Amino acid sequence: MDKKYEDIFKKAAPYLNTRKNDVHVPISYDFARRLLTHYPEADEDIVLPAVILHDVGWKMVPEDKQSEAFGPNMKDEASWRVHELEGVRIAREILTSLNFDRKKIKEILDIIGGHDSRKEAISLNDKLVKDADKLWRFTPMGVEIDHKRFGIPRDKNLDRLGIKIHEWFFVPESEELAREALNESKIGSKSQKVEK
């Protein structure tokens, strides 16, 4: 974590101890850093805080409702939307308490407010946040967590992810990173079968 964003992460941490967001957010943050190297015109002071804060609103959704409010079997779109709206509120409180640049706060909140529900991106910064958010699903850790919580066999989950690469991502570098992570996950899956 970059020193300049540590305070944001510390204030976000109590909101990330649900839905495996304490694992998801650092992985997505790393992907965002990698994507930013390809897009110097993007604003890291918008992208990185938005990645850190994008899922803080899940803390306001009761845990017994979360499993149906995201993923391939989503049934509860109202709770899914609550996590974005509550995320905007919490992110505003955190960034304001840190005297973060007000103009940047506005774009960060705009991104958080539709990071899942809005299918089109509102800016390059939004594209990078949306992509970093999804890239974690392709990592060995993301594959392991998701196949268990969604009740999808590991191999079927890997196949599902492979199909989604072209559909989910906005920038070509994200597709490349997704393929690399998915290959690593497939190698891990094969080695698990050999060990059994």
Domain ranges of the chain: 3-195
Confidence of residue 189 (pLDDT cuts 50, 70, 90): low
Mean pLDDT of all residues in 78-107: 93
Question: Which structure tokens are listed for 188?
Answer: 């891990």
pTM reported for the whole predicted model: 0.91
Is 70 exceeded by the pLDDT of residue 158?
Answer: yes
**First vs last C-alpha separation in the chain:** 36
pLDDT top residue among 117 and 109: 109
Question: Which structure tokens are listed for 129?
Answer: 């946040």
Please calculate the CA angle 130-135-139 and round it to the nearest 5 degrees: 160
DSSP state of 107: H
What is the rounded average pLDDT for all residues in the chain? 90
CATH topology of domain 3-195: Hypothetical protein af1432 (1.10.3210)
**Distance, C-alpha 189 to centroid of its chain:** 23
What is the phi/psi pair of residue 36, to 5°?
-60, -30
Contacts of 166 (CB under 8 A, 6+ apart): 175
pLDDT (tens digit, 9 = 90+) per residue, 113-153?
999 889 999 999 999 999 999 999 999 999 999 888 888 89
**If you search the block for the tokens 């790393």, which residue do you land on?**
30
Question: Which structure tokens are listed for 26?
Answer: 């650092």
- Residue 12: how many CB atoms within 10 A of its CB? 23
CA distances from 120 to 65, 68, 94, 131, 178 (A): 27, 23, 26, 12, 19
pLDDT (tens digit, 9 = 90+) per residue, 49-68?
999 999 999 898 887 776 77
- The whole-number pLDDT of residue 173 equals 98
Please answer whether residues 56 and 91 qualify as being in contact, where contact means their C-beta atoms are separated by less than 8 angstroms.
Answer: yes
